[in-house]
Amino acid sequence: MQSFTLSISIIILGISCFVSGLLLMRWSLNNIIGSKAKYILTKLTTSPITGLIVGILLTIILQSSSIVSILVINLVSIGVLPVLNAISIILGANIGTSLTLEFIAISNPLWIWLLLILCIILFILKKNIHAFCAMSLVLLLFGFNLLKLNTAALTVIPLQLSDNPSLIEYTLALFIGVIFTAIIQSSTAATAITMTLVDNELIPLVLGVLIIYGTNIGTCFTAIIAVIGANIHAKKIMIYHLSINIISVLLILPLTPALISIINYLSNDPLQQIAHVQVLINLFTIIIFFPFIRKHALLLDKLH
């Protein structure tokens, strides 16, 4: 019992370190590029394809599709960013955040020490913001490794999950992904926790995939909150963001067995498999929606 309590405490510490790392990374990167974000979104986004690329790159830099979505909503609200360019950025932002998970999945505990050394060197050189950025990666990887090493302690909880879950379990996993992501406001953190659960065989891979589907919907709640009191143009972006994420999940649900076959082919490592799911879902969303983006923009313009 003492060992179980200790493991739970370490898991909570791991989650705290991971989320703190995400927040510190957003703060430090925002300080490095934050003042240029408006320029990047308004001046460099000249077409849907450049909007897609800017959405991917800016989300990688800011480490949050939610922050990019809020920036886009605010810029559309004041009339400096056209709806067409805005929705292309939203599509790009969806995939940008997935690449952080790929980095975490392939990470090695040795990287923590290397990043810690880099952090100390940067502090000595008085590159404080860059040092905080390196420190955020230390916290991120340290927290993830604590989760990975201690989540196995939860096996004492009798979940009684089979490799062929029922429809109720499918639905519950999907809603857990939605609700948990909406509460913690980070699909990255929700996915990282799911990665450790699957890695320690606490839940089967298929339920992990369903939770990831849910995180893609749950991440939209930040945009829903952001448009409260905003004008109709900002609400159009929120409607588009929520709609494409829900529709893409509904479209990919019947393809789940094929998706699992693909990720099994790409990797045998459960951590990488879950990270690949997030990337593949967002690539699927782009493939489905991007060819029709101009028609979608015209449709949104008809909303009053």
The band of 213, judged by pLDDT with boundaries at 50, 70 and 90, is very high
Q: Note the pLDDT tens digit of each residue in 54-105.
A: 888 877 777 667 777 777 877 777 777 788 888 888 888 878 777 777 777 7
Tell me, what's the pLDDT at 211? 92
For 107, phi and psi rounded to 5 degrees?
-65, 155
Tell me, what's the pLDDT at 103? 78
**Does the structure show a pLDDT above 70 at 35?**
no
Q: State mean pLDDT over 292-300.
A: 87
Tell me, what's the pLDDT at 155? 52
Overall pTM > 0.85: no
Tell me, what's the pLDDT at 156? 47
Tell me, what's the pLDDT at 224? 80
The band of 183, judged by pLDDT with boundaries at 50, 70 and 90, is confident
**What secondary structure letter does DSSP report for 44?**
S
Tell me, what's the pLDDT at 220? 82
Q: Note the pLDDT tens digit of each residue in 137-179.
A: 888 788 877 777 766 555 545 455 555 667 787 888 889 889 8
CA distances from 228 to 33, 77, 235, 236, 297 (A): 27, 12, 8, 12, 21
Q: How far apart are CA 217 and CA 16, in angstroms?
A: 23
Tell me, what's the pLDDT at 63? 64
Q: Note the pLDDT tens digit of each residue in 246-282.
A: 999 999 999 999 999 999 999 888 888 998 998 899 8
Q: How far apart are CA 94 and CA 286, in angstroms?
A: 9
**Which residue, 96, 62, 64, is CA-closest to 226?**
64
Query: CB–CB of 174/213 below 8 Å?
Result: yes
Mean pLDDT (the chain) is 80
Q: How far apart are CA 286 and CA 45, in angstroms?
A: 17
Q: What is the DSSP string of 210-275?
A: HHHHHHHHHTTHHHHHHTTT--HHHHHHHHHHHHHHHHHHHHHGGGHHHHHHHHHHH-S-HHHHHH
Identity of the residue numbered 181 = T
Find the angle CA(191)-CA(178)-CA(199) to the nearest 5 degrees: 30
